[in-house]
Amino acid sequence: MERKAAELEQFAGRVAHDVLSPLSGVSLALSLAEKTGGPASHSAISRGRSSLTRVRSVVDALLAFARAGAMPDPGIHASVPEVFAGLEEELRPPAAAENVDLAIEPPPDVAVACSPGVLAILLTNLVRNSLKYMGEATLRRVHVSVRPRRASVVFEVEDSGPGVPEDLGDRIFEPYVRGKETAAKKSGIGLGLATVKRLVLAHGGQVGVRRSSSGGALFWFELPRAEGESEPGSVRSPEEPAQPA
């Protein structure tokens, strides 16, 4: 346990140095641009500040998670609609750059037992993964949806890409695991999905992947509802096939 705690503290220190320090420079640059730029630049500066705020939220969530010994704070919660609002603004530009139709269903008014930053990390990693590995697919679509259950909430990210190689399956969530073909063509070291799995399990949830209705990949994760939230009845299990988007 002591070794694990020490490793987490080192992780927190690296994040603080490698991410938070550059963010201070970005914030200063935006402030200077705001003072010297004309009216035409104000909109771009505002978007930059919004992105900066979201990045800080994500980093703060990771730091808090690491410093807590990989245990989430009791009573913490994230409003799903609020996180989704930021998700759309963050992910529509990269989706457009890849010529992908990003369809995000309006989420129900529910809250889950994790911080807003952690929920943003989970969804952003899965959507960016789908965009990254869309390949040369003719149908280019990523569909994000939410399904509330009695004591939990299921999140799904379905894409129309080539899907997860059959020889990988759930091993795709292990650190540094990537498909042979994609590893040679795409940058990255294979930690995004491993981060998703670690965070979901640490918050008492579960995660998985299966083939989507269009032949691509459907990643899903399930998180407990926030304390005090419950809903009579339930919807389909995350293992049941998703309805076509």
- Residues 87 and 126 both lie in one domain: yes
Confidence of residue 237 (pLDDT cuts 50, 70, 90): very low
Q: How confident is the model at residue 177, as a pLDDT?
A: 72
Between helices 80-97 and 116-132, what is the axis angle to 10°?
A: 20
Q: Per-residue pLDDT for 178 more than 90?
A: no
Q: How confident is the model at residue 138, as a pLDDT?
A: 86
Q: What is the DSSP track for 118-177?
A: HHHHHHHHHHHHHHHT-TT-SS-EEEEEEEE-SSEEEEEEEE-SS---TTTGGGGGSTT-
Residue 243 lies in a domain: no
> If you average pLDDT over each of 16-30, 195-209, 226-240, which comes out highest?
195-209
The CATH number of residue 103's host domain is 3.30.565.10
- Residues 50 and 94 both lie in one domain: no
Among the candidates 48, 67, 86, a domain finishes at: 67
Q: What is the pTM of this model?
A: 0.71
- Residues 107 and 202 both lie in one domain: yes
Which range of residues forms the domain containing residue 169?
A: 78-224
- Residues 26 and 141 both lie in one domain: no
Q: Per-residue pLDDT for 30 more than 70?
A: yes
The residue that leads in pLDDT, 95 or 32, is: 95
Q: How confident is the model at residue 89, as a pLDDT?
A: 85
Each residue of 182-202: pLDDT tens digit? 544 555 556 678 888 888 988
- Residues 56 and 17 both lie in one domain: yes
Per-residue pLDDT averaged across 128-154, rounded?
93
Query: Total domain count for the chain?
Result: 2
- Residues 6 and 93 both lie in one domain: no
Per-residue pLDDT averaged across 52-65, rounded?
69
Q: What is the rounded average pLDDT for all residues in the chain?
A: 79
Q: How confident is the model at residue 235, as a pLDDT?
A: 46
- Residues 149 and 101 both lie in one domain: yes
- Is the CB of residue 215 less than 8 Å from the CB of residue 166? no
pLDDT > 70 in the chain, percent:
73
> If you average pLDDT over each of 109-113, 120-124, 130-134, which comes out highest?
109-113
- Residues 176 and 93 both lie in one domain: yes
